[in-house]
Chains A and B, each alone.
Chain A
Amino acid sequence: MSLIDNINKAFDHRIRLGIMSVLMVNDHADFKMLKELLGATDGNLASHTKALEKSAYIKVEKSFIGRKPNTRYSATKLGKLQFKKHINALEKLIGK
């Protein structure tokens, strides 16, 4: 039971895993970069980033580069911690 506890429902989706993976190894990533890396559609990616933002696992910063709006994502401390736990739980489950 305790093993399953660490499997975080918030990460239990390919796109969300992808978003967190990118943000674990990069200080920040913008919308376009995430989209290209994960091969997701705009709407799909937006809904998943919103969900992660709601859990306070990622931070969203909106700004302008020239006239173009730019959305920048970064992982929060909490998000990184929870993601690590999630990966550890996955590895344990596989190890069995």
Chain B
Amino acid sequence: MEANKYLDDITEIKNIMNRSSRFISLSGMSGVLAGIYALIGAALAYIRLKTFSSANYDGFSGRSSALWGTDLIQDLILIALVVVVLAAVTGFLMTLNKSKKSGEKIWDATSKRLVANFLIPLIAGGIFCLVLIQYGAVGLVAPATLVFYGLACVNASKYTMGDVRYMGLAFVIIGLISTQFIGYGLYFWALGFGVFHIIYGAMMYFKYDRK
């Protein structure tokens, strides 16, 4: 009898510790969808690059200045932006939906802390990437985005499901590996933002969402 009461106490303590310090309504399925968007985006970017290089690769003009023609850059940035916005909106809506179900508030101390800690490395990384472009080190942009996104996940993992930490580490590792394969950024992007999101999103979905 007594032992049961104490067991309840312990369960309650753990529950409150988690609920008060971690935002646990993050939707796993939205990770999967974000990964799918990223793969579609990567495929579109690949096609766009292919058509560009076959149209322009006539010996001389395939060099740097022509390669970074504004049309191509605009299209690639557009693709990236659409992917990011779609992924963010999907993630927000599905998380909102899940938090409604679980009774957790979407905008409370835990989610604010989660967002702040996620954004600090991410914004630093974004600015750093702009600097890389400024100095013409375009090849390092893809590795840098992967590394900083990974660090953002590692940092945010303290305030949500701990599993996010491992996804972050995976991003950091492939980001660092990709520094040795400059020019293959798109493939590493597809692997990270596409495949990793799908794998980890699915893992989280089966672990937390399907109850």
Contact = CB atoms under 8 A, between A and B. Distances in A.
* Residue of B7, B10, B13, B17 with highest tally of chain A CB at under 10 A: B13
* Nearest 5 Cβ contacts at the A-B interface: A21-B16, A25-B21, A22-B20, A21-B13, A90-B6
A91 B20 contact: no
Interface string B7-20: 10110110011011
Interface of A: 14, 17-18, 21-22, 24-26, 29, 33, 36-38, 87, 90-91, 93-94, 96
Interface string B145-169: 0000000000000000000000000
B3 A17 contact: no
A14 B12 contact: yes
Interface in B106-121: 108-109
Interface of B: 2-3, 6-7, 9-10, 12-13, 16-17, 19-21, 105, 108-109
B3 A93 contact: yes
A33 B9 CA distance: 20
Nearest to B6: A90
B20 A29 contact: yes
B12 A17 contact: yes
Given A33-B109, A36-B108, A21 B20 contact: yes
Contact of A96 (B3, B9, B16): B3
A75 to B, nearest CB: 12
B9 A26 contact: no
Contact of A93 (B2, B19, B21, B105): B2
A8 to B, nearest CB: 12
Contacts of A22: 16-17, 20
A26 B21 contact: yes
A26 B20 contact: yes
